[in-house]
Amino acid sequence: MKHEQLRLSNQLCFPVYAASRLIIREYQPYLDKLRITYPQYLVLMVLWENDGITVNDITDKLVLKTNTVTPLLKRMESLGIISRNRSGEDERKVLITLTDKGKKMKLVASSIPGLLVDKLKDGALTMEQLVELRTNLNILIDYLQNREDSR
């Protein structure tokens, strides 16, 4: 092939994309028990770590745009998992807090990461390789975010 750089097998983005999709698929049976989607799970993890934060704080942590997160939060509110309220200090800011239902989901969800890691390490990668992969992906994410921020 004249243009080797255009071969799918030579791309960095494709294996990252495919692995992401396949890992999310592995999460789905556990998330189905909670009746949530993977993006909702990500929001919950952010809130379980820091409840009562702004929409912008959530978008920053999840590396997403507000127009992606806002409909997600509205759906979570309609499910009774979170509440959205305007900040008393700055009405432009919307604070997101867990409801009792959202807080209770943490106990059930606490087993999910371990179950997923057990599945993955029984396959092609060791625990050390999984940790190294996560570390390297975080380095790449930080680099790409910093490039975007400097534009």
pTM of the full structure: 0.89
* Residues comprising the chain, all counted: 151
At 6, the pLDDT band (50, 70, 90 cuts) reads confident
CATH number at residue 70: 1.10.10.10
Backbone φ and ψ of 94, nearest 5°:
-110, 125
The enclosing H or E element of 100 equals helix 100-109
Structural domains of the chain, count:
1
Which domain does 53 fall in, by range?
36-101
* Residue 148 in this model has a pLDDT that exceeds 80: no
For residue 5, tell me if it sits in a domain: no
Report pLDDT digits (tens) over 33-69.
999 999 999 999 999 999 999 999 999 999 999 999 9
For residue 93, tell me if it sits in a domain: yes
